[in-house]
Amino acid sequence: MNIIDVLTKSTINVDLKAKNKIEVLEELSGPISEISNVDQKELVRVLIEREQLGSTGIGGGIGIPHGKLKHLNKLVLGFGLSREGVDFDSIDGRPTHIFFLLVTPENSAGDHLKLLAHIARLLRNEVFKEKLMNVENADDLIRIIQKEDRNEL
């Protein structure tokens, strides 16, 4: 499964205003709740509960918050970029800039894990991360991800 298969332009925010972890989750979950027809408060609650198990700030300026919802029909992905960086309780203690928010139906463990692994693998590439840090708009981001997804095949 490729990132571009589940990322939509409306769930991309290349200019996050959030100043802390909760605000990031709220800001990224808004567009996802709209396109998925799920309650944003429930989505944020699920994401916070997952964060309490351990931060999804994986270090290197990256956060991959994720959660599962009962009433979701399909896997949904959002992207956020904080140019200033946010304290996301990252494992390396450094600010987090790049966020992929993944929300999946409760019964889709396979797809959930495959996409998490794919995102993490791509984000190990420093050149790719640098390109993400410098995107100006959603179209730029989609173009960059499409190219990387093709290279991964």
Q: What residue segments make up the domains of the chain, in order of their start?
A: 3-152
Apex 81 CA angle, 108 and 31, nearest 5:
55
CATH node for 3-152: 3.40.930.10
pLDDT at site 70 = 87
Structure tokens at 90: 């990252």
Of 66, 71, 112, 118, the catalytic one is: 66
pLDDT at site 124 = 92
Mean pLDDT of 113-125: 90
pLDDT at site 54 = 93
Helix, strand, coil content of the chain in percent (nearest 5): 45, 25, 30
Q: Pairing relation of β-strands 62-63 and 66-69? A: unpaired
Say what percent of the chain tops pLDDT 70.
Answer: 98
Catalytic, 112? Answer no
Q: Bridge-partner residues for 104, per DSSP?
A: 68
Please report, for residues 38, 93, 116, the alpha-carbon distance to residue 46 in angstroms, rounded to integers and kept in the order given: 12, 23, 17
Please report, as a single letter, which amino acid is at residue 134. N
pLDDT at site 153 = 44
Structure tokens at 87: 């304290």
Contact 120, 64 (CB under 8 A): yes
**Which segment of 42-51, 77-86, 108-117, 135-144 scores lowest on mean pLDDT?**
108-117
